[in-house]
Copies of this chain bind each other. A is one copy, B any other.
Amino acid sequence: MSTQKSPQKSPNTNPQFDRVALIGLGLIGSSLSHAIRRGGLAKHIAGHARSERTRAKAVELRLVDSIHADPASAVKDADLVIICSPVGTYAEIGAAIRGSLKPGAILSDVGSVKQAVIRDLGPNVPDGVHFVPGHPIAGTEHSGPESGFATLFDGRWCILTPPPGTDAAATDKMIAFWRACGSQVEVMEAGHHDKTLAITSHLPHLIAYTIVGTVADLEDATQSEVIKFSASGFRDFTRIAASDPVMWRDVFLNNRDAVLEMLGRFAEDLTALQRAIRWGEGDKLEALFTRTRAIRRGIIDAKQA
Contacts and interface: CB of A to CB of B under 8 A. Distances in A.
Interface in A263-282: 263, 265-267, 269-271, 273-274, 277-278, 280, 282
Q: Which of A211, A229, A250, A304 gathers most chain B CB within 10 Å? A: A229
Interface string A174-217: 00000000000000000000011101111111111111111111
Interface stretch (A54-62, A64-72, A97-105, A240-248): A240-248
A235 B137 CA distance: 13
Nearest to A265: B214
A169 interface: no
Given A237-B204, A266-B211, A277-B253, A216 B157 contact: no
A116 to B, nearest CB: 12
A213 B249 contact: no
13 contacts: A196-B226, A197-B229, A197-B232, A201-B232, A209-B288, A214-B269, A217-B269, A228-B304, A236-B236, A238-B296, A252-B285, A260-B274, A263-B274
